[in-house]
Amino acid sequence: MTETQLRPSETAAPPAMGRGASFLPAIWDRATGIAGRRGFIIAFLVIGAVLPLLDRNEGDIDAGANALSYAILALGLNIVVGFAGLLDLGYAAFFAIGAYAYGIFSSYQVQPEWWGFWEPFQWLGLVQHIAVPGGPGTVHFTVSFWLMLPISAIITAFFGVMFGAPTLRLKGDYLAIVTLGFGEIVPIVARNVPYLTNGAAGLNGVASPTFFGYSFGVQSMPFYYLGLALAAFLIFVSLRLKNSRIGRAWLAIREDEIAAEAMGVNRVKLKLLAFGIGAGFAGTTGTFYVAKLQTAAPEMFTFPVSVMLIVMIVLGGMGSVAGVVLGALILQLLQSVLLQDLTQWIHAFGNLTGIEFFQQLDLVQSIELIFGIILVVMMRFRRQGLIPERAAVTALTHAQQTAVPSRIGVKGGLVPLHRRTLDPKKPLLEIRGLSKSFGGIKAVRDFNLDVMPGSIVGIIGPNGSGKTTFFNLITGLTQPDGGKVLLMGEDVTGLLPHVIVERGIARTFQNLRLFANMTLLENVLVGTHSRTTTGAIGAVLRTPRVRREEIAANERVMDTLRIFGNRLMPRVQHLARTLSYANRRRLEIARALVSEPVLLLLDEPTAGMNPTETLELTDQIRHLRDRGVTVLMIEHKLAVVNQIADKVIVLDHGEKIAEGTPKEVHSNKEVLRAYLGRSTDAVAEAAAAS
């Protein structure tokens, strides 16, 4: 990996948030503030609960139950697409798998011959023995609907993980195409295995659920309320997950995979988790849907269903739970009410004016065209959706913006920055013969280095001399061709980046890789990922232990941000991309620090800072060292290096050409030649003169 390849998508324009320039969006932004969202979700559930009492029309309730199943699907897909940023175009296939799973296990479709094997299952009530005169009889599956809800989730999650896994190491686009293919073949398979699915004709006779002896039958009301309960559950799960360690890691992956990994997030595991959870919810919904319709046919689960779900999410706002609910609501109303009414009005208009075009026009048929238009228009003009993932934040006051930088915080915080005891006599980091080539270019060759604990080591060298590659080799972003990296005597060569963070090495990036659309607080909280343990289930249940961990992580983050005085503190709720360049550098350092590193790698920490800011940061780095963090820094500003480095390494063409105290290095011939390109004589004179 070269320096250029590591560059983040910093040129990428962030999605435009509510611009506030015009009046209407400003009002909408305010209405969709945090309180507004909560109100909307509660209103949705309450109105949903009382609606059937007001409208007793069976057809309407039935339509409502169907609409709810799509809303649930959209919420599930939002975890995959909105949170983790993985475009899944075959979501309907998982829906199908869940549907067929329940269909097969509760109908007469599959009837194997009866033998002793089935007896325990009969005892459990999962199968029935159907006696056939003159034979052993057959098996009739009667697995309970309630049991199948979680089982379907497990089965589909398994499929999700299986088909997601091949693509997760590749660029995200590949997941889109593989899921598209998966979505295409699942209905084909359903059509081609008639003994399981009854083929194109569709599976019939799916058992209706019973609830303590009360059969749902063909009524819509119980399904409606069950759907509403599932929707409420999914909203709850989504919100809990999003504001947790897991959710933050997903958002981090969505924003910048490499940076997420370098901050300790196991991206493969978390992507699979998102994909599995998303698929699982689709499976459960499939079971619900097929129990309601009591039939399953391949056409019910094709590409247009997946696209409709994407449209709901895009319209409402990717990653925004309230937004997705709104998107699903709008699309369902559009399809079942609005378009029909509009068509009638247009026909009436056509009859009135005698224009044939208006008499014939049928808007209901053009729903998919409308879907396409919604996708393109939203992406072009309001990428954040109707209710953006982030509520608008109030800007800083003039006083806050122009406040004199306080530096009292430098020593702030008494908590140690890491919890390890180090032997001061043994080197913390040992590099032995580290090498890396890119094609014919030897970026780093046969590099050796010892870093003692509690020191600050500066790495200087002309551009392209292999400094950043060296950092990438230590942090696992690039695999070395040869050589060893030992941390506290342990071999960490070639470990995955997130494992190296766990071992105690954290870094910043030369060209800044912040999670642009996450708040300052969230950015730094991602840094605590490797030192916290909350899993998906813990995040949803929010047990006391999880709560304590969350509070401790927050305290640690605030404590760390305090190092930079009032530079970052007033802005913790702001999005990272709204920060000034210098503050972004500070934020990256804070994000790295909360992972409790014993060794901190800073890649040009003062780049882009003015002299005052540079001085301030130099001071802060020295204090970090005093609090027990060993620092290895790449820096072009020699003034900074001279002031704080205990040792300076000079790299040129991938080789260490000098090592020593700043003074020693400055008088080194090789160094002067590398920097100034003088002839040897001139160099000798200069060296003699100095």
171 binds another protein per the rule CB under 8 A: yes
**Minimum CB separation from another protein for residue 367, in Å?**
9
Residue span binding another protein (CB under 8 A) among the ranges 103-111, 174-182, 320-328, 345-353: 174-182
By CB under 8 A, name the one of 45, 51, 63, 87 that touches another protein: 87
SS3 call for 176: helix
479 binds another protein per the rule CB under 8 A: no
Q: Which residues contact 574 (CB under 8 A, 6 or more apart)?
A: 393, 519, 520
Evaluate whether 287 touches 101 at the Cβ level (below 8 Å). yes
Q: How far apart are CA 634 and CA 604, in angstroms?
A: 5
Distances (CA, A) of 377 to 196, 260, 335, 373, 563: 42, 31, 19, 6, 45
Evaluate whether 90 touches 181 at the Cβ level (below 8 Å). yes
375 binds another protein per the rule CB under 8 A: yes
Q: Which is nearer to another protein, 51 or 375 (CB)?
A: 375
Q: Which is nearer to another protein, 183 or 453 (CB)?
A: 183
Q: Which is nearer to another protein, 379 or 676 (CB)?
A: 379
Distances (CA, A) of 16 to 32, 595, 601: 16, 31, 33
Residue span binding another protein (CB under 8 A) among the ranges 232-240, 253-261, 290-298, 584-592: 253-261
By CB under 8 A, name the one of 3, 6, 76, 346 that touches another protein: 6
Q: Which is nearer to another protein, 56 or 380 (CB)?
A: 380
Q: Which is nearer to another protein, 384 or 606 (CB)?
A: 384
Q: How far apart are CA 662 and CA 34, in angstroms?
A: 53
Q: Which residues contact 154 (CB under 8 A, 6 or more apart)?
A: 280, 283
By CB under 8 A, name the one of 188, 201, 348, 676 that touches another protein: 188
Q: Which is nearer to another protein, 196 or 615 (CB)?
A: 196
Kindly determine how many residues on this chain lie close enough to bind another protein according to the rule CB under 8 A: 56
241 binds another protein per the rule CB under 8 A: no
Evaluate whether 531 touches 549 at the Cβ level (below 8 Å). no
181 binds another protein per the rule CB under 8 A: yes
Q: What residues numbered 63-82 form the site for another protein, per CB under 8 A?
A: 81
Residue span binding another protein (CB under 8 A) among the ranges 62-70, 282-290, 367-375, 613-621: 367-375
570 binds another protein per the rule CB under 8 A: no
Element (H, E) at 444: strand 441-451
Q: How far apart are CA 446 and CA 430, in angstroms?
A: 13
Token pair for 215: 């059969």
Residue span binding another protein (CB under 8 A) among the ranges 365-373, 442-450, 531-539, 648-656: 365-373
366 binds another protein per the rule CB under 8 A: yes
Q: Which is nearer to another protein, 199 or 202 (CB)?
A: 199
Residue span binding another protein (CB under 8 A) among the ranges 19-27, 180-188, 238-246, 645-653: 180-188
Distances (CA, A) of 678 to 607, 649, 673, 690: 27, 20, 5, 15
Q: Which is nearer to another protein, 64 or 278 (CB)?
A: 278
By CB under 8 A, name the one of 45, 51, 110, 180 that touches another protein: 180
Q: Which is nearer to another protein, 126 or 367 (CB)?
A: 367
Q: Which is nearer to another protein, 85 or 605 (CB)?
A: 85
Residue span binding another protein (CB under 8 A) among the ranges 10-18, 223-231, 442-450, 602-610: 10-18
By CB under 8 A, name the one of 130, 201, 369, 676 that touches another protein: 369
**Minimum CB separation from another protein for residue 74, in Å?**
14
Distances (CA, A) of 171 to 71, 177, 285: 29, 11, 29
By CB under 8 A, name the one of 11, 22, 679, 690 that touches another protein: 11
**Minimum CB separation from another protein for residue 124, in Å?**
35
Instruction: Residue 246: name the closest of 533, 578, 564 by CA.
Output: 533
178 binds another protein per the rule CB under 8 A: yes
**Minimum CB separation from another protein for residue 371, in Å?**
6
Helix ranges (H only) for 382-454 are: 398-401
Question: What is the 3-state secondary structure of 399-417?
Answer: HHHCCCCCCHHHHCCCCCC
Token pair for 366: 């053009």
Q: Tokens 């003015």 identify what position?
A: 610
Bridge partners, residue 505, by sequence: 599
Q: Which is nearer to another protein, 257 or 588 (CB)?
A: 257
Evaluate whether 224 touches 64 at the Cβ level (below 8 Å). yes
By CB under 8 A, name the one of 184, 446, 502, 646 that touches another protein: 184
By CB under 8 A, name the one of 185, 348, 352, 537 that touches another protein: 185
Virtual torsion, Cα 625, 2, 474, 501, nearest 10 deg = 80
Q: What residues numbered 151-170 form the site for another protein, per CB under 8 A?
A: 163, 166-167, 169-170
Q: At what angle do helices 91-104 and 303-316 cross, to 10 degrees?
A: 120
Residue span binding another protein (CB under 8 A) among the ranges 371-379, 425-433, 445-453, 548-556: 371-379
374 binds another protein per the rule CB under 8 A: yes
Element (H, E) at 127: strand 127-130
In b/e form, how buried is each residue of 249-261, taking b as 16+ CB within 10 angstroms?
Answer: bbbbbbbbbbbbb
499 binds another protein per the rule CB under 8 A: no
By CB under 8 A, name the one of 215, 219, 365, 612 that touches another protein: 365
Instruction: Residue 250: name the closest of 273, 220, 234 by CA.
Output: 273
Element (H, E) at 632: strand 630-634
DSSP 635: -
Evaluate whether 259 touches 515 at the Cβ level (below 8 Å). yes
Angle among Cα 234, 315, 178 to the nearest 5 degrees reads 75
Residue type, 204: N
By CB under 8 A, name the one of 71, 101, 252, 314 that touches another protein: 314
85 binds another protein per the rule CB under 8 A: yes
By CB under 8 A, name the one of 352, 379, 541, 682 that touches another protein: 379
Residue type, 299: E
**Minimum CB separation from another protein for residue 199, in Å?**
10
Q: Which residues contact 407 (CB under 8 A, 6 or more apart)?
A: 565, 616, 619
By CB under 8 A, name the one of 172, 350, 570, 660 that touches another protein: 172
**Minimum CB separation from another protein for residue 318, in Å?**
8
The CB density around residue 673, as the number of other CB atoms within 10 Å, is 17
By CB under 8 A, name the one of 72, 73, 274, 307 that touches another protein: 307
310 binds another protein per the rule CB under 8 A: yes
Residue type, 529: H
By CB under 8 A, name the one of 13, 53, 54, 689 that touches another protein: 13
Token pair for 196: 């399981």
198 binds another protein per the rule CB under 8 A: no
Q: Tokens 């039939």 identify what position?
A: 295
15 binds another protein per the rule CB under 8 A: yes
Question: What is the 3-state secondary structure of 128-196?
Answer: EEECCCCCCCEEEECCCHHHHHHHHHHHHHHHHHHHHHHHCCCCCHHHHHHHHHHHHHHHHHHHHCHHH
258 binds another protein per the rule CB under 8 A: yes
Residues that bind another protein (CB under 8 A): 1, 4-6, 9, 11-13, 15, 81, 85, 87, 89, 163, 166-167, 169-174, 176-178, 180-182, 184-185, 188-189, 191-192, 254, 257-258, 303, 307, 310, 314, 318, 365-366, 368-369, 371-376, 379-380, 383, 477
